[in-house]
Amino acid sequence: MKILVTGTNGFIGKNLIDRLLAESHEVVNFYGDRREIDTVIHLAAIAGIKPELQKVKEHYQVNVLQTVELLEFCINHKIPNFVFISSSSVYGNNGGRPSLETDPTDTPLCHYAATKKAGELACYTYHHMYGINITCLRLFTVYGPGQRTEMAIPLFTRLIQQGQEIIMFGNGYRDYVYIDDVVDAIVSSLHSNKGYSIYNIGSSQKTDLVRLIFNIEDFIGKKSKIKYQPNPIGYAQSTWANIEKAREELRYNPQVMIREGLYKYIDWYLKNPNNKF
């Protein structure tokens, strides 16, 4: 299969490319050979939920307008399949229960969430008007070796190991999903891309921040210094995925639960203390 992938320099993109090549797919970027492409996987996006990290115009220009431009590219070049990487942030605050794909998604808490929802809507419109097959994958909190160092698990790991203070915002929980399981889901979607579908991709396991920090302390062998602060604007209190639709239709079956995934990450981190991403 010949696949165009955007966002190949990112954390998920690099892991996905390795898997696709290992499975003998031909992978091209947007500036490569555009002939007879079977599928586009659209990973590229401007991330960031913290208000001080959000570049509002850039969020909308990249996450929405470039998604539309890529959909236009698919229509113009008769590419039949499109995989859009969305986010659990579209759910806003989920009310303390697992989010379903049919839940309302009209109350985004930050610009990033709004742009991901807008991207999904654009995808549906292109499917409806032109018949292109589109799968939207709503990723929950992805983690693993090589992820951005400002994310919670790499940040907490580094601060605990260095004996520095951790700032803990609230005490909600997150559905942490290991990178290998996310890549499995994306690859599975290549073989089930018919019509328009949305899937939650998580572990279906909730982990609160206190438990997350305790596990990191346990693996590193050091206690942390925690400063508690309320959630800043833009943060969901908690996330948790219902993944039954993905289990049934994509045969998605996450293998790495949080404690094993943390062990894998911390083992990698301790062997690569100067890693930067």
Residues with catalytic roles: 112
Q: Are the C-beta atoms of 124 and 72 separated by less than 8 Å? A: no
- Contact residues for 74 (Cβ-Cβ < 8 A; gap 6+): 40, 82, 126, 132
The dihedral built from the CA positions of residue 198, 111, 170 and 85, taken in this order, carries a sign that is positive
Question: At 10, is the secondary structure helix, strand, or coil?
Answer: coil
| Burial classification of residue 35, based on how many CB atoms lie within 10 Å of its CB (0-12 exposed, 13-18 middle, 19 or more buried) | exposed
| Distance from C-alpha of 190 to C-alpha of 67, rounded to nearest angstrom | 19
